[in-house]
């Protein structure tokens, strides 16, 4: 293999580049990114960066002096993948031919239907999004967060600490019931009300109100919430349209096996745009977490290099169970595993009232997930045990 192109210059793309070099690839490496910035860390965008505790330089993912010996093509959007010629096609017409391709184009924030261009309405996915939102987080302002997911929750916590009046709206009766289950979802989302943030659950949004500038959010039950600022956090859409049907998709994401191999030999997919086959679950699953973007590219790169090198494919052990964390108010929330696979959840340490607890999810007698709130050490032990147990 003489040349590899990585499409996507965020964490997953950088992790793939690092893995290629660490696993012995010494050929030409090209990294294409549609943003002009070098790879940066996204989790702080809703917390430290939004609060002004770190600047843009503090977001960089590359270590001082780090050089993966790649040709970086930034501010360039990929618009096609010619699988016959092995070429990535850029918006300006450039065709980059390679022996292997790693797709890491991530996902974009889902927007609400309705009139576009209403000032004061934001999403949060990129550095540009965070800059725009931070400029409008003014003390005394009224912020409505639509969607009580983890990004929305972190922004709500940051805004409340910055002196804004915050309301969080979610269409489901129990926010976070999907990733955490109903019982623990209620516990974690309850942090908002415990810190003076108003939580409206079980009612969808009918429309945004305002002329030129947002003035309020009208709910499906007719309630009008005054707003100077709105954050929309209603999920993300995989960036796969540019492929034009070149790769098989699963629910809009690139369908991969358990090693990141797509439907086209020599093309791998990693990060938020990819749905890997989970051998434990027996189905494809899209993991949208920082840890997955760090760990999985090395697995995909190993499979790519073995395939091109003609060596036997090492199936190896299953990938680690999904893991994510969220910092809200003064609480670190950590979760590993699959809440949807559990039929019971028990609090093993701490209490709901103290906002410090460790809960274990089980299917029968088998642990399948663990949640920690300000229980970092105990959670880490359980997480490692969970990985080991599920591997066996």
Mean pLDDT of 81-98: 97
**Which tokens in the block code for residue 32?**
């294409």
Answer for the pair 271, 292: CB distance below 8 angstroms, yes or no: yes
DSSP H or E segment with residue 164: none
Q: Does the pLDDT of residue 226 top 80, yes or no?
A: yes
pLDDT band at residue 314, thresholds of 50, 70 and 90? low
Q: Where are the domains of the chain?
A: 3-107+237-309, 111-234, 330-391
Answer for the pair 228, 142: CB distance below 8 angstroms, yes or no: yes
* Residue whose token pair is 């300000």: 374
Instruction: Report how far Cα 378 is from the mean position of its chain's Cα atoms.
Output: 24
Superfamily covering domain 330-391: FAD/NAD-linked reductase, C-terminal dimerisation domain (3.30.390.30)
Q: Does the pLDDT of residue 313 top 60, yes or no?
A: no
**The domain made up of 111-234 is a member of CATH 3.40.50.720:** no
CA atoms within 13 A of residue 307's CA, in its CB half-sphere: 19
**Considering the chain, what percentage of its residues have pLDDT values greater than 70?**
96
- The model's pLDDT over 325-345, given as tens digits with 9 standing for 90+, comes to 999 999 999 999 999 999 999
The pLDDT score that the predictor gives to residue 279 is 85
Residues 6+ apart with CB under 8 A from 117: none
- The model's pLDDT over 154-207, given as tens digits with 9 standing for 90+, comes to 999 999 999 999 999 999 999 999 999 999 999 999 999 999 999 999 999 999
**Pairwise pLDDT comparison (78 vs 391), residue with the higher score:** 78
* Residue whose token pair is 């600047």: 55
With b meaning 16 or more CB within 10 Å and e meaning fewer, what string describes 153-191?
A: bbbbbbbbebebbbbbbbbbebbbbebbbbbbbbbbbeb
CATH architecture observed for domain 3-107+237-309: 3-Layer(bba) Sandwich (3.50)
Same fold, 3-107+237-309 and 330-391: no
Residues 6+ apart with CB under 8 A from 136: 120, 122, 228, 229
Q: d(Cα 104, Cα 242) in Å, to the nearest integer? A: 12
Q: d(Cα 358, Cα 365) in Å, to the nearest integer? A: 17
Q: Decide: residue 134, CB within 10 A, 0-12 exposed, 13-18 middle, 19+ buried.
A: middle
């Amino acid at each position: 293999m003489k040349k590899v192109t990585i499409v996507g210059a965020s964490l997953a793309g950088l992790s793939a580049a690092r893995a290629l070099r660490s696993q012995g690839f010494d050929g030409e490496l090209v990294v294409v990114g549609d943003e002009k910035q070098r790879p940066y860390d996204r989790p702080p965008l809703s917390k430290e960066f939004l609060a002004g505790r770190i600047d843009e330089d503090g977001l960089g993912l590359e270590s001082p002096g780090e050089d993966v010996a790649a040709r970086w093509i930034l501010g360039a959007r990929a618009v096609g993948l010619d699988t016959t010629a092995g070429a990535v096609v850029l918006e300006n017409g450039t065709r980059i031919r390679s022996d292997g391709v790693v797709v890491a184009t991530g996902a974009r924030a889902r927007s609400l239907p309705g009139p576009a261009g209403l000032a004061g309405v934001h999403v949060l996915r990129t550095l540009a999004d965070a800059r725009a939102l931070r400029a409008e987080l003014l003390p005394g302002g009224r912020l409505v967060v639509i969607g009580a997911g983890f990004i929305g929750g972190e922004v709500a916590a940051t805004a409340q600490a910055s002196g804004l009046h915050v309301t969080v709206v979610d269409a489901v009766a129990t926010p976070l019931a999907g990733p955490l289950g109903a019982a623990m979802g209620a516990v974690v989302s309850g942090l908002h009300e415990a810190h003076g943030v108003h939580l409206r659950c079980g009612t969808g949004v009918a429309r945004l109100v305002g002329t030129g500038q947002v003035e309020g959010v009208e709910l499906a039950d007719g309630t009008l919430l005054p707003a100077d600022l709105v954050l929309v956090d209603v999920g993300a859409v995989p960036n796969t349209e540019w492929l034009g049907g070149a790769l098989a998709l699963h629910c809009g994401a690139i369908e991969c096996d358990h090693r990141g191999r797509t439907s086209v030999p020599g093309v791998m997919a990693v990060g938020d745009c990819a749905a890997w086959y989970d051998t434990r679950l027996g189905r494809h699953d899209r993991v949208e977490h920082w840890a997955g973007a760090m760990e999985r590219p090395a697995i995909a790169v190993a499979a790519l290099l073995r395939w091109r090198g003609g060596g036997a494919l090492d199936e190896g052990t299953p990938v680690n169970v999904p893991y994510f964390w969220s910092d809200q108010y003064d609480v670190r929330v950590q979760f590993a595993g699959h809440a949807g696979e559990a039929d019971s959840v028990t609090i093993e340490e701490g209490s709901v009232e103290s906002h410090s607890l460790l809960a274990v999810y089980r299917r029968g007698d088998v642990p399948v997930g663990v949640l920690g709130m300000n229980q970092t050490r105990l959670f880490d032990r359980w997480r490692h045990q969970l990985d080991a147990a599920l591997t066996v």
